[in-house]
Every structure is written in structure tokens, then in C-alpha cells.
Copies of this chain bind each other. A is one copy, B any other.
Amino acid sequence: MSAAPDVSAVKTYLLGLQDGICAALEAEDGGGRFREDAWTRPEGGGGRTRILTDGAVFEKAGVAFSHVQGTKLPPSATAHRPELAGQPWEALGVSLVLHPRNPYVPTAHANVRFFISGSSAPSSPATPPVPRPPSPVTPTWWFGGGFDLTPYYGFEEDAAHWHRTARAAVAPFGVTLHARMKKACDEYFFLKHRGEPRGVGGLFYDDFNELGFDQSFALTRSVGDAFLPAYRPIVAERKATPHGDRERQFQLYRRGRYVEFNLVWDRGTLFGLQSGGRTESILMSLPPLVRWDYDWKPEPGSPEAKLYDVFLKPRDWLI
């Protein structure tokens, strides 16, 4: 059922996805432009990090592609698959976090990624040949990805549109997939120290190879391609909503939760920071301006309380 993994096809798709998303975001912003930092890492591979700051719509938008390789997978990365320890590996992905200026526009995150390890993990032509280990093993690979939405002032119809688009993206690949990936998203983007979801969720999957390479890759393309149709209409609808200092201060306060999640709980962020990843690319996800207020609580019945009461409760947005 499964064709051999085609790393080069994944890479081509991801580079195009980054290009397409950046172009659309610039068009939606109408003013800001992405600047690009290309970087390499001594152990192999590199990336291109694109950041738009101080746009008309996006206060900070980061859309990063990376493709990193190693000759020996560390044991810590393979606790549940010890046969992979010491094998060559590659990881590719596109990751984005968008922090809009207008508090009525939600923050959005999306990520699609591919990992492959084992003796037939091809080395990139741009890097030195990977030494073959003495005992080659069958390559192991998986896809991961998803997207999630973090409103400040929520709208039921926006949440429904977001989840409807997510469901449509994965529905062709299996009838149970959407429910599973929606639940995984709710569980992953959860601030345990607050007992609070990060936002209204979306899709999350990892270690995904159950459909074979071709279909797992097609699913991942479908998810990556669904991000713009899921998010852009919400931005277009809300970006001109009038607002004042009250909404701005609430937005800054709620951005603190984004920082807390990413620095305390997000596996990718922590693994990256603790394993010598490129700090500035990893932390491009952090909001441009953030406030913390000791023990702040919204006034009951206020628009700020509605975020907690209506949107920060896991629920089925499609019924």
C-alpha cells in the first residue's frame, strides 16, 4: 500500500507552501513585507525563516521552513524505538505563528512536518554523505501537523468556519480522522497549570504513517493547503473592527498565555531550545508585546469573560 518515502517531494511541497502562505499574508496585510533569514546548522541542514513585523494587519508574523539532518539519532529521541538510536535522520517542516494587531483577529498557528530515520534516509545533496551505520535498519518515517486558533474576542461563526475547513481537509482520508485529530488538538494545546485551553483548537496529529507514504503525504498537503482558506476569511472579516485600549490591553494580557504555553509545554519549542536549535527561529512564535497582571480576572458578563465562558471550553463547533 505504501510507496517509498520521497523526501525531495516533501521538500518541494513545503517550500511552495511557505511561498504561497507568505504571499497571501502580504496581500491580506496590504503593507508589511516578509524578510527572510537563510541559516545553516553545523550538524547538517538549515532553513529559511521569514518574518513580517509591524504590518498593517499583522503585528508579527513568522513563517519558517527548516530541513535539518543528523548522522546519529540521539537515544533521547528514540526512547520508544530503540532500534533507531544511532541512525541517520532528517526532519523537514513549515511552521507559522501569526500575531495580528487587531484584538478581534485571532492568533493562528500551523505546522506540517516530516521525519525519516534509518539507513535509507537520503542525505541532502548539499551536505556531506551520511556515514552508514554497521547495522542498517528499515527506514522509519512519519508526518505530523495541524493548526489551531487562539481568539481574544471570539465569534461562534469564525470558530465554526475554522473547524469546518479543518474537517473538510481530513475527511477524504478517513471517516474517524477528524474527530481524532480535533481531540488530539484540544489535548495538546492545553495549559495544565491554568486548567485552560490555548484557544478553540483545530487539528493535531503526529507519528502519522498509517495510510502509507502517498496518502499520508496527501493528507499532510491537504492540511497545509487548508490553512489559508481556514484563516484568511476570518482575518478579512475582523481586521477593521474598531477597538480601543481596553481590547488592546486584554489582547496583551492573553498573549501571556501564548508565551506560557510555548515555553512551558510545547514539545517542539522545548526540544529545540534544549538541544541547540536556532533560538531566534524557534522563538519567532512569541508575541511582539505581552503583559502579565497578577491574578487578573475578567468582570463577569463582560466580553472578556465570554472568551473564558464560551470559547475556552472544548466543544464540538460543528453541531
CB within 8 Å of B: which of A139-198? Answer: 192-194
Q: Mark A264-296, 1 if CB is under 8 A from B, else 0.
A: 100000100110010110111011111111110
A256 contacts partner chain B, Cβ-Cβ < 8 Å: yes
Asked if A62 is at the interface of the complex by the 8 Å CB criterion, the answer is yes
Instruction: Evaluate contact between B280 and A295: CB separation under 8 angstroms.
Output: yes
Contact with B along A55-90 (1 / 0, CB 8 A): 000001010000000000000000000000000000
Asked whether A214 is an interface residue with its Cβ less than 8 Å from the other chain, the reply is no
Flag if B60 contacts A294 (CB, 8 Å): yes
Contact A284 B291 (CB under 8 A): no
| B193-A274 in contact (CB<8A) | yes
- Total contacting residues, chain A, CB less than 8 A: 33
Q: How far is the CB of A37 from chain B (nearest CB, A)?
A: 7
User: Is A263 engaged at the interface, CB distance under 8 Å to the other chain?
Assistant: yes
B292 touching A283, Cβ below 8 Å: yes
Interface residues of A (CB under 8 A from B): 37, 51, 53, 60, 62, 192-194, 252, 256, 259-260, 263-264, 270, 273-274, 277, 279-280, 282-284, 286-295
Sample of 21 A–B contacts (CB below 8 Å): A51-B294, A53-B294, A60-B294, A192-B273, A193-B273, A193-B274, A193-B277, A193-B282, A194-B279, A259-B263, A260-B263, A260-B283, A263-B264, A264-B273, A280-B295, A283-B292, A284-B294, A288-B291, A288-B292, A288-B293, A290-B291
